[in-house]
Structure 1
Amino acid sequence: MGDWKKNDGLERENAGQEQERLVMGRNAVREALKSGHSIERMYAAEGVKEGSMGELLRLARDHHIRVETVDRARLDLLTDHGVHQGVALRVSAADYVTVEDILAYAKQRGEAPFVAVLDGVEDPHNLGSILRTAECCGVHGVIIPKRRSAGLTSTVSKVASGAAEYVKVARVANIAQTLEQLKKEGLWVAGAHMEGEAYTKVDLTGPLALVVGGEGAGISRIVREKCDFLCRIPMKGKIDSLNASVAAAVLLYEAVRQRS
């Protein structure tokens, strides 16, 4: 955590929760925001906007960090009654990379890029499971959005069982624009959607970005429109969809089969 002073807000364990890494106190939060460290969310106490708080809110906005306004009692609980001065950050359990880093890694390995793109996977257990599958499948990187998505928290790392330390994860502001970027780099974009062709009958070889949607809603319309083609997993029972992490595993391993 760099040189942030312990008495200014060392990361603590949330009361009654998994070990989420928190930075609290205005000085510590300011340094964290300026450091470039991967930050999941800022918690700001209701009605606290005076003095340096305005600066912190501007920094969060400039870095596209989600700000959640909470009452002071909840902030006290989140910080285990630490000296938070009305503000705290939840920081990632691991650092993110860029999309360019992922593509460079594939090139370094002399392999066609194989990328998983997650559109709105908000359950950290699903994200952790997908990261573990992605690592086992040899995926070069996973791309998630900054909003409407789980991030690299300690819960995700725990579920991933070490995979989060190996899989490169990029967090982007706009998934649709990122897909356009990937297509310009020569990748084909396949989206998991019930209106697509059976997943065993589509070509998942070559430079590929496989898009999997979140729990319930699936991939959004605008993201779906950016896909080159759609693929579906046939449903034989009465339930019409799989858990996001299970769907991702089925599709990723089909891509591995075809690419072998």
Structure 2
Amino acid sequence: MGEKIIGFHAIEEGLKKASSGSVLYIARGMGGHTQDLERQALLSSKVVVKKIAKVEMDRMVSQADHRGAVLDLVSSAQELGGKVQNLSVKDFCKNLHDDDSALILVLDEITDPQNLGAILRSADQFSVSLVVVPDRRSAHANSTVIKVSSGAAHYVPMAQVTNINREIEYLKSQGFWVYGAAMNGQAVYKTTFPNRTVLVMGNEGKGIGQLTQRLCDHMVSIPMTGHIDSLNVSVATGILLYEVRRQQATK
């Protein structure tokens, strides 16, 4: 029917945004948390609850770890009433007042849905104003991303764009300073972030593309003393977002 969501937290958030005609499937005999989801769904006039055999649910989600519950939304995640939608970067900027601060996260070809989901969870926690992802060679807000984000993907504003470099150039024209994450960048604690900041995170393997790096005003890094050469991109994103927000809170 539409986007199928698994994971208890993701389903709880999905139920809040579900359109009329959505279905919550419950596997018979599971009990526990599935009963809480069923009660939440029954409070909504928009969601129908159907109980099916576990084997049928296994087929429905291709043997994924559903834990006895699947929410089948009548609309895809991109069409929900929440903030999982394709915004325009220009429209976002038009709604900013001259003295408004903003934190924009640009993801340069983050291809792993697990990483994107974890990044969106951090983006929600640190009140990122907008997440920008490219149309091509990038993960998008599918059911895996929504599950990993624990439903945060419903709340984080996103812009899916054709050319991130063009969008970065536009953001710079609107008073944003652009900071790219790279191992050879300046230590993040030595960097001062302005009220309008764009943070660019690169691909899991190759990092930020060369053309995109040239558009960055500064490159920043996270000082490390461990035995491996880098952090997972989702972990690094959370650390950098925290530092930007920490600085902005003290101004």
What is the TM-score of this pair, normalised by structure 2?
A: 0.65
Distance 1:181 1:241, change over 3 A: same
2:3 and 2:90 map into 1 onto residues whose CA distance is 33
1:155 Cα deviation after fit: 1.1
Matched residues in 1 for 2:156 and 2:90: separation? 14
Partner residue in 2 for 1:232: 221
| Structure 1 portions without partners, runs of 5+ | 1-9, 20-76, 81-90
Determine what percentage of the aligned residue pairs are the same residue: 43
From the superposition, tell whether residues 189 and 12 of structure 1 become closer, same or farther in structure 2 (CA, over 3 Å). Answer: closer
CA contact (8 A) 2:3 2:142 kept: no
Equivalent position of 2:124 in the other structure: 135
Is 1:175 aligned to 2:164, yes or no? Answer: yes
Please state if 1:102 is matched with 2:92: yes
CA RMSD of aligned residues (A): 2.6
Q: Do the aligned residues in 1 keep the contact of 2:187 with 2:220 (CA within 8 Å)?
A: yes
CA contact (8 A) 2:126 2:242 kept: yes
1:2-57 CA-to-partner distances (Å, cap 9, x unmatched) read xxxxxxxx4486xxx979xxxxxxxxxxxxxxxxxxxxxxxxxxxxxxxxxxxxxx
Letter of the aligned partner of 2:177 in structure 1? W
Shift, 1:105, TM fit: 5.2
> Counterparts of 1:185 and 1:208 in 2: how far apart (Å)?
11
Q: CA deviation at 1:78?
A: 11
> Is 1:210 the counterpart of 2:194 in the alignment?
no
Question: In structure 2, which of residues 237, 240, 246 is the aligned counterpart of residue 251 of structure 1?
Answer: 240
Where 2:77 maps in the other structure, the secondary structure is coil
8 Å contact from structure 2 (residues 108, 133) kept in 1: yes
* Deviating 4+ runs (over 6 angstroms): 77-80
Please state how far the C-alpha of 1:111 moved relative to its aligned partner. 3.1
Compute the TM-score of the two structures, normalised by the length of structure 1: 0.63
The CA distance in 2 between the partners of 1:118 and 1:191, in whole Å, is 10
Identify which range, 218-227 or 158-167, moves more after superposition: 158-167
Q: 2:77 aligns with which of 75, 93, 101?
A: 93
Q: Deviations over 1:46-71 (max 9, x none)?
A: xxxxxxxxxxxxxxxxxxxxxxxxxx
Equivalent position of 2:16 in the other structure: none
Structure with the bigger RCO (C-alpha within 8 Å, sep 6+) is 2
How many residues are paired up?
180
Whole-angstrom CA distance in 1 between matches of 2:185 and 2:220: 4
8 A contact 2:177–2:194 mirrored in 1: no
Cα contact 2:6–2:147 (8 A) shared by 1: no
Partner of 1:185: 174
In the alignment, the residues of structure 2 paired with residue 141 and residue 104 of structure 1 have an alpha-carbon distance, to the nearest angstrom, of 13
Residue matched to 1:166: 155
- The one-letter code matched in structure 2 to 1:217 is K
How has the CA–CA distance of structure 1 residues 235 and 258 changed in structure 2, closer, same or farther, with 3 Å as cutoff? same
C-alpha spacing 1:11/1:114, structure 2 compared with 1 (3 Å): closer
| Equivalent AA in structure 1 for residue 213 of structure 2 | R
Report the residue type matching 1:153 in the other structure.
N
Distance 2:155 2:118 in 1: 14
SS of corresponding position for 1:139? coil
For residues 114 and 3 of structure 2, the distance between their equivalents in structure 1, rounded to whole angstroms, comes to 22
SS of the aligned residue for 2:179 comes to strand
The separation in 1 between residues aligned to 2:3 and 2:213, in whole angstroms, is 40
Q: Tell me the SS of whatever aligns to 1:189.
A: strand
CA 1:213 to 1:224, structure 2 compared with 1: closer, same or farther past 3 Å? same
In 2, are the aligned partners of 1:196 and 1:230 still within 8 Å (CA)?
yes
Runs (5+) with no aligned partner, structure 2: 8-58, 63-74, 79-84
